[in-house]
Structure 1
Amino acid sequence: MKEILAVIRPQKLPRLREVLRAIPGFPGMTITKVAGCGATARHTPHSIKEVLTDFTDKVRIEIIAPDEMADVLVDHIVQVASTGQTGDGLVWVTEIQRAVFIRKTIGSDSI
């Protein structure tokens, strides 16, 4: 299994969600609002206010998927999220040793 993580522009999320959900066997995703800045800033902040607000809003996507789906998902994410501008985001993939769904059995008293 693979964990696919992506940080993208928030306005790209609705279209990405639509495209990913159309892929047969799409396993689902978790979304988190994040903010960050690139390593190669063109502007050097000159005040504490600029230092504290020099971040861009992004969305972080996390997907756990079978190995054979990882490349397809990454390709779709890159295609949909790309605007051709600096700051479009980043996608990376890591190996997952184990993942377990947490489910509650209906009518069960066990924890």
Structure 2
Amino acid sequence: MKEIRAIIRPNKLPKLRTVLREMPGFPGMTVSKVEGFGAPSEHTPHNIKEELTDYSAKVRIEIVAPDEKVDDIVRRIISIACTGQTGDGLVWVVPIDRAVFINKTTIGSPQG
């Protein structure tokens, strides 16, 4: 099991959501609004106001998926999010040792 994390442009989210929901067995995702900046560019902020507002709005996506779905999900994210311009985003995959859905069947089950 893996966690796929991605930072993408907000305007790409609706299309990505549609493409992922069409995927058989898609496990779902969590979406958060975030701000950030990439690697330093030629432009350097010259005052405190510019330094505090030198971020661009992005969306962070988190998906916990079985190993056999990961490559397909990553491919779909990249194909939708890529515009060919700087700032398109980033996708990375993190191993997960254990994940448990929280529902009434987990109540009273042993921890471990």
> TM-score normalized by structure 1?
0.93
Q: CA deviation at 1:42?
A: 2.5
Partner of 2:96: 96
Q: Does 1:10 align with 2:10?
A: yes
> TM-score normalized by structure 2?
0.92
Q: Does 1:72 align with 2:92?
A: no
Partner of 1:83: 83
Q: CA deviation at 1:47?
A: 0.5
Instruction: State the percentage of identical aligned residues.
Output: 66
The one-letter amino acid paired with 1:44 is T
Q: CA deviation at 1:61?
A: 0.1
Q: CA deviation at 1:39?
A: 1.6
Q: CA–CA distance in 2 between the matches of 1:42 and 1:16?
A: 31
The one-letter amino acid paired with 1:89 is G
Listed as ranges, the gaps of 5+ residues in structure 1 are none
Runs of 4+ in 1 over 6 A off after TM superposition: none
Residues paired across the two proteins, number? 107
Alignment root-mean-square deviation, CA: 1.3
Q: CA deviation at 1:32?
A: 0.4
Q: CA–CA distance in 1 between the matches of 2:11 and 2:31?
A: 13
The one-letter amino acid paired with 1:102 is I
